[in-house]
Structure 1
Amino acid sequence: METTEQMLARRRLELSHEAAVRVGGSLDVRRTAQDLADVLVPTLGDLAGVELAQAVFDGTDPPRGLGGGDLHLRHAALAPATVGPLTGIDLGDELPPVPDSPLLRGLQQGITVTLGRDELTAMLGDPELVELLLPQSFRWVMLAPLWARGFLLGDVTVWRIDRSDPFTQEDADLLTEVASRAALALDNARRYTREHRAAVALQERMLPPATTDTPAAETAGAYLPAGDGVDIGGDWFDALALPSLRVALVIGDVVGHGMHASAGMGRLRAAIQTLADLELEPEEVLTRIADLVNRLAAEAPPAEQDGIGATCLYAVYDPVTGRCTMASAGHPPPVVIRPDGTVHIVAISPGAPLTVGGMPYETTTIDIEPGSILALYTDGLMERDSRDLDDALRRLTTRLAVSSGPEADLVDVGQALLADLAVQPRRDDMALLLARTRSIPKEATALWEFRADPAVVAEARKQTARQLTAWGLQDLVFATELIVSELVTNAVRYAGGPVGLRLLRHDVLVCEVTDPSNTQPRLRRARTTDEGGRGLFLVAQLTSRWGCRYGRNGKTIWAEQPIDNSL
């Protein structure tokens, strides 16, 4: 019995099934192209290649024009991959334009083309093109277009080098079917590339500068988006300079992936920046952000409400006291790497994620030695190593301890750590914020406490002038005396005692007056007949900025003046 046709039919059926299973399992353009080339060899030919338009790699729409060279094709895949380049075109190279011809027009209009060596050589016409594009010993070639959703994405080419039998119509029909399915998979990968790049661009635009340099700390942030076909998430970090030389460190992770997560991250980051300017305590910041998340969930369609949420860690470091106060909303604990290389995982009590409203958050305060590195991170750095989070945290701390020396560059440390973790497929975003803490020397601070008596105003001015003279800031004595006089007078008159006065010197001169009252100071416009009400106006005119923050036992009014370090 003649079984050749039956064997060929069975092989074609197996090829069609294998192509349906293997091609399209990835949203990476190059991997999808390679899967397509691999399934065609050796069933249909000895060599297979895939050429795609540059727009497919970029995620944009390919051109619709016809004619030689209009598609700007690039060599995307070759099978078997072990044979190496058989032509002058390597993987990733751009194909040169070819002469226009009826066969080329037919290919670009969706027709699978079968050619012999002599016919294809005559069509090219140019010996240099023949040497550049064609394998030296091929006998037959079959080309099928990759059409999807009205766009010509490229073509797939199958060569027969060792076989003498030409391609049949059944072969052409089979390649057309496989190419049609593969084109949809490639177009899905192209559209994913476009959406992923847009989300990454949005995410990166919303993130702060990678590095900051403040009196409180030197910081470096690193971010790595998800890969392997996973939409980008909503991880973010922030380092916010606060009054009185302090710094706020923020790390967060929005639930979900895609543009919605990036947009949600942007809204939360903007809200936290606003709350940080109000100088609220960390637990109060998280409470208000949780209320915002619940409002966003209430505004969302019912089907999306369960997917709105976030975790966040908010910390404030004071370089004068060397203390860091932090609160967590379901976020992993920070890690402190001391100057001697020892590592300490902060025993912070994580509150409920920001999805759950109405729950209190607990504040943790720790002392941090100057020169230590405070590491804040998202769970993407741990989930990659192990399903055991405790074990993953130990591995993370070990890596931080090894790479974070006293003289180590924080940017290099963050990039090296993410590069080490990026070897495996990334199923989640990874964000890392490193802060090397600093301290304000005692000789750059001055503190006094006065009773609630109008007579102490003159003493406060006298102490201020004496301290500024000792610091070599004689040019600021007159303005600072006026500021101290107005603030201390208001505290004595309206708040009672004791009244605290503190001066801080760094790149700015900070003047702080503390009193036991929680009354909000307000800047108002005094009328010409008013005898008072101009104190805060004078303070505002004499300083670069001023404000008020509240503590557990009163408030502190602060004012900053720039110091001309060139003098």
Structure 2
Amino acid sequence: MTGSATFMNENPEDPFSPRRAVSAVLDPHGRITGWSERAEAVLGRSAREVLGRVAAGLLVAPEDRTAVDEAAAACRKQGGWSGVLPLRVGDGRRRRFALRVRPLERSGGLTEWLVAGAPAAEAGQWEIDRSVVDGLFSRSPIGLAVHAPDLSILRINRALAGIGGIRAEDARGARIGDFLVAGDAETIEARLRQVLETGEPLIFTEQPCRLLTEPSRERLVAVSAFRMEDADGRVLGVTQLVEDVTDRHRARRRLALLSAAGTGIGTTLDVATTADELASAAVPGVADHASVDLLEQVSRGEEPVADGGGGPVRRTALHGVRPAPDRSALRIGALNTFPPDSPQGRCLATGRAVLEPVVGASGPPAADRGLPRGAHSLVVVPLTARGLVLGCMSLWRSRLPEPFEEDDLTLAGELAARAAVSIDNARRFTQQRRTARALQRRLLPREFPAHPAVAVAHRYVPAGGAAGVGGDWFDVIPLSGARVALVVGDVVGHGIDAAATMGRLRTAVHTLADLDLEPDEVLSHLDDLVTRLAGEQEADGEGPGEEVVGATCLYAVYDPVTRQLCAARAGHPPPVVVAPGGAVELPELPAGPPLGLGGLPFEAAETALPEGSLLALYTNGLVDGDHHDVDDGIARLCRTVARPGRSLEQTAQEVLDALLPARPSDDVALLLARTRTLAPELVATWELAAEATAPSRARQLTAERLAAWGLEELAFTTELIVSELVTNAYRYAGGPVTLRLIHHHRLICEVGDPSSTSPHLRRARTTDEGGRGLLLVAQLAERWGTRHSRGGKTVWTEQLLPGHRD
């Protein structure tokens, strides 16, 4: 604008004014009777040279005579003429002049003509300048104000008068403070004064502008200003241009708020957190107070009903520029039911936004409804996702004087729409995670009964964040012969699918353990099962984006009689063994492939464990972290479990505290077992030759041992069991027979032979002489079974001790 001011000030005077115009007087015959000094200077002809001569013949070239004749005819017809004609100057050149011809009445009825002219370029420039100035004050849409050096108003244009709601003539001599509130007027005057003092222009500076006539209406204007100077550099005042950018500012603010909301809402998959982010995004940018009320079932992570109107809602979030009244109905977590005729009730019932410019016009005062005093305007927008109403957001204004408008309603609707999708996603995730956790709680063991072979402690930690529940599991399974199986496994993936697959694998492990299979055989059967599960998934048409069926597993069997640990693993981290003296080792245990690859063998290894050894079995999530690799994690685990003087429960908790962050990225299963050994006096083992006297010898040895243990009550039934089992081994095995009795919470009888043929129960016919022995054993024993080994088989029975109940 400074450039424009200089441009307009280059020719500030009218070129047709008496001082600047070229002027002459013509008689009725067109002879020159008057010639001004300006005409002499500009046209280069003196008065003596031109007076009395015909102007057309002297000043017009022959080729321009036609144009002059037409102008003369128009002048006589119209009583005057104005236009542009070429004239010859003193050196003979032709120059274009803008001319104005007006009649001069003389006595005697004669008419003379006054001709005023100026160079055409100069006159055209003056017309442009005059049009610009006229346009700025009469037609420009941007406000314009001209101030004297004391900042009093010299002139304002129509646009600024319209902004201020006044007439342009009423502003002359007034000051800015006569129209604006004090603070805004002082700000503007201070900036104009700085322009006057420094000469530095002010360019599009935004500032508030509240009129005295409407102090509650907040406007924003963009002000530009420049200092006015005359040709000598004397300060004449300052001109400012004012543009009302309130709508533009509000639109920009809304876009910025929506952009911030896009990144600030839905940062977690938690319903309450997402609701709080929504309320926080609305205050103070849109409203002074915001609350989010969700249908009760939505707040619990459940599916909303199709018609949510009239149902109870739970206050999930509340934000405000001032604290809300301490009323129970307003507190976060409070359960409320909105009346059907309330704005919230109507919004929930119809799924449409509600705008009430004046709260309280049709109801009790704001304070009586628990709102901050002074709340005067209300907007309620629904939270809708997938066509279902999840709840509503209520916005109030108390500090901001303007009531809500349709633009605010649109903005609130945009915020609510974005948040509703995030809330619905969080609700569905919460529902899925809760279902998966419930499923996993029912699939995982809670407590293990006391076992003579080991004392155990266990922990399960679900993954933090979106990962949630996974497929990690652990188990302690009693086996025959006072042995125990220790199991940990990890199914690929997270969620319900992983938990369900884990349940199937855990059930399969229990079934295989009941068969008394070797650890490597158990893993082979699990591998087949996982392969079948993958085939079922492929048959169901699940694509590569679905959960992948795969798992790792460690299966170990500990025998408290021999103190041997036999284990095999399928792609799982190795166990950690801590000797009673504190020495830590990782047993040499072949890794084996993960379950589900199919066709690859598994290998088992045996390790002798001193009594009181600590065995740590775990899943990969415990040792594989974001800031360290698996080897570092295992090393930290070894250092933690090796600390002496702590119980198993204390050790388990210290392991989690030392190795896991607050929100682990993967779920974790940990199983700690301290080994026990059966006292030698509680175990009796005999080697019997495969001969006819073996059954009687077995009965005798059994009776003597039971007497020594004080179990004479069991002598008769036990002798029958031992006699039948030894007889079968003598008849069908064809080799030496091993008899072992174990006395702990039950009486265990084991008869081993080199044959791999398993005995089977059958019902003998009345004509059969034999075939009833094994049926008799099954009736006398509490449990019985057969387990196979690489050297043959063992048939075992268990009997309850007198006075004991399982």
- TM-score, normalised to structure 2's length? 0.65
Q: 1:46 to 1:306 in 2, by over 3 A?
A: closer
Distance in 1 between residues matched to 2:392 and 2:702, nearest whole Å: 80
1:293-335 residue CA offsets vs partner (Å, 9 max, x unmatched): 1122122226259811111110111111122111100111122
Task: State the match for 2:313 in structure 1.
Answer: 73
The one of 23, 33, 45 equivalent to 2:265 is 23
Amino acid at match of 1:534: R
Distance in 2 between residues matched to 1:73 and 1:416, nearest whole Å: 42
Task: State the match for 1:214 in structure 2.
Answer: 451
1:232-260 residue CA offsets vs partner (Å, 9 max, x unmatched): 32111111111111111111111122322
Task: State the match for 2:537 in structure 1.
Answer: 300
Task: State the match for 2:511 in structure 1.
Answer: 274
Distance in 1 between residues matched to 2:434 and 2:794, nearest whole Å: 46
Task: State the match for 1:534 in structure 2.
Answer: 772
Contact 1:331 1:378 (C-alpha < 8 Å) held by counterparts: yes
Task: State the match for 1:382 in structure 2.
Answer: 623
Q: 1:566 to 1:30 in 2, by over 3 A?
A: closer
Partner-residue secondary structure (3-state), 1:144: strand
Task: State the match for 1:452 in structure 2.
Answer: 690
Task: State the match for 2:410 in structure 1.
Answer: 173
Amino acid at match of 2:422: A
Contact 2:366 2:375 (C-alpha < 8 Å) held by counterparts: no
The one of 598, 606, 615 equivalent to 1:357 is 598
1:433-457 residue CA offsets vs partner (Å, 9 max, x unmatched): 2223222111100111122221233
The one of 508, 512, 515 equivalent to 2:753 is 515
The one of 515, 522, 525 equivalent to 1:288 is 525
The one of 35, 40, 45 equivalent to 2:287 is 45
Contact 1:146 1:155 (C-alpha < 8 Å) held by counterparts: yes
1:439 matches 2:677:
yes
Distance in 2 between residues matched to 1:111 and 1:103, nearest whole Å: 10
Task: State the match for 1:88 in structure 2.
Answer: 327
Q: 1:374 to 1:15 in 2, by over 3 A?
A: same
Distance in 2 between residues matched to 1:65 and 1:299, nearest whole Å: 39
Distance in 1 between residues matched to 2:371 and 2:536, nearest whole Å: 60
Partner-residue secondary structure (3-state), 1:518: coil
Amino acid at match of 2:347: L
Amino acid at match of 2:452: P
Task: State the match for 1:32 in structure 2.
Answer: 274
Amino acid at match of 2:559: D
Partner-residue secondary structure (3-state), 2:697: helix
Q: 1:491 to 1:134 in 2, by over 3 A?
A: same
Distance in 2 between residues matched to 1:236 and 1:458, nearest whole Å: 48
Distance in 2 between residues matched to 1:122 and 1:322, nearest whole Å: 84
The one of 719, 737, 751 equivalent to 1:481 is 719
1:233 matches 2:470:
yes
Task: State the match for 2:709 in structure 1.
Answer: 471
Amino acid at match of 2:507: A
Partner-residue secondary structure (3-state), 1:211: coil
Q: 1:300 to 1:103 in 2, by over 3 A?
A: closer
Instruction: For residue 462 of structure 1, report the CA deviation from its aligned partner.
Output: 1.3
1:398-424 residue CA offsets vs partner (Å, 9 max, x unmatched): 34445x845x253x6546655776753
Distance in 2 between residues matched to 1:136 and 1:148, nearest whole Å: 33
Instruction: For residue 53 of structure 1, report the CA deviation from its aligned partner.
Output: 2.1
Amino acid at match of 1:155: C
Distance in 1 between residues matched to 2:428 and 2:530, nearest whole Å: 30
Contact 1:314 1:326 (C-alpha < 8 Å) held by counterparts: yes
Distance in 1 between residues matched to 2:587 and 2:323, nearest whole Å: 53
CA RMSD of aligned residues (A): 2.7
Distance in 1 between residues matched to 2:303 and 2:559, nearest whole Å: 52
Q: 1:105 to 1:506 in 2, by over 3 A?
A: closer
1:3 matches 2:245:
yes
Contact 1:212 1:218 (C-alpha < 8 Å) held by counterparts: no
Instruction: For residue 143 of structure 1, report the CA deviation from its aligned partner.
Output: 2.5
Contact 1:218 1:436 (C-alpha < 8 Å) held by counterparts: yes
1:17-36 residue CA offsets vs partner (Å, 9 max, x unmatched): 22233323422112211222
Gaps in structure 1 of 5+ consecutive residues: none
Instruction: For residue 530 of structure 1, report the CA deviation from its aligned partner.
Output: 2.0
Contact 1:323 1:368 (C-alpha < 8 Å) held by counterparts: yes
Distance in 2 between residues matched to 1:405 and 1:336, nearest whole Å: 16
Which range moved further: 282-291 or 257-266?
257-266
The one of 304, 324, 347 equivalent to 2:565 is 324
Distance in 2 between residues matched to 1:324 and 1:208, nearest whole Å: 22
Contact 1:63 1:71 (C-alpha < 8 Å) held by counterparts: no
Distance in 1 between residues matched to 2:335 and 2:775, nearest whole Å: 70
Q: 1:390 to 1:91 in 2, by over 3 A?
A: farther
Contact 1:27 1:228 (C-alpha < 8 Å) held by counterparts: yes
Partner-residue secondary structure (3-state), 1:381: helix
Higher relative contact order (CA 8 A, sep 6+): 1
Amino acid at match of 2:761: L
Contact 1:210 1:220 (C-alpha < 8 Å) held by counterparts: no
Q: 1:204 to 1:83 in 2, by over 3 A?
A: farther
Partner-residue secondary structure (3-state), 2:297: helix
Instruction: For residue 151 of structure 1, report the CA deviation from its aligned partner.
Output: 2.5
Task: State the match for 2:608 in structure 1.
Answer: 367
Contact 2:351 2:384 (C-alpha < 8 Å) held by counterparts: yes
Distance in 2 between residues matched to 1:420 and 1:79, nearest whole Å: 38
- TM-score, normalised to structure 1's length? 0.90
Distance in 1 between residues matched to 2:422 and 2:513, nearest whole Å: 47
Instruction: For residue 64 of structure 1, report the CA deviation from its aligned partner.
Output: 5.1
Q: 1:396 to 1:84 in 2, by over 3 A?
A: farther
Contact 2:315 2:336 (C-alpha < 8 Å) held by counterparts: no
Amino acid at match of 2:442: R
1:188 matches 2:188:
no
Instruction: For residue 351 of structure 1, report the CA deviation from its aligned partner.
Output: 0.5
Partner-residue secondary structure (3-state), 2:639: helix
Distance in 2 between residues matched to 1:92 and 1:382, nearest whole Å: 39
Distance in 2 between residues matched to 1:57 and 1:122, nearest whole Å: 30
1:107 matches 2:347:
yes
Instruction: For residue 338 of structure 1, report the CA deviation from its aligned partner.
Output: 4.1
Distance in 2 between residues matched to 1:320 and 1:83, nearest whole Å: 73
Instruction: For residue 98 of structure 1, report the CA deviation from its aligned partner.
Output: 4.1
Task: State the match for 1:556 in structure 2.
Answer: 794
Q: 1:54 to 1:294 in 2, by over 3 A?
A: same
Task: State the match for 2:782 in structure 1.
Answer: 544
Distance in 2 between residues matched to 1:556 and 1:91, nearest whole Å: 68
Partner-residue secondary structure (3-state), 2:723: helix
Q: 1:218 to 1:85 in 2, by over 3 A?
A: farther
Contact 1:374 1:436 (C-alpha < 8 Å) held by counterparts: yes
Q: 1:78 to 1:72 in 2, by over 3 A?
A: same
Distance in 2 between residues matched to 1:449 and 1:237, nearest whole Å: 37
Contact 1:221 1:414 (C-alpha < 8 Å) held by counterparts: yes
Q: Percent identity?
A: 46
Distance in 2 between residues matched to 1:496 and 1:85, nearest whole Å: 90
Partner-residue secondary structure (3-state), 2:494: coil
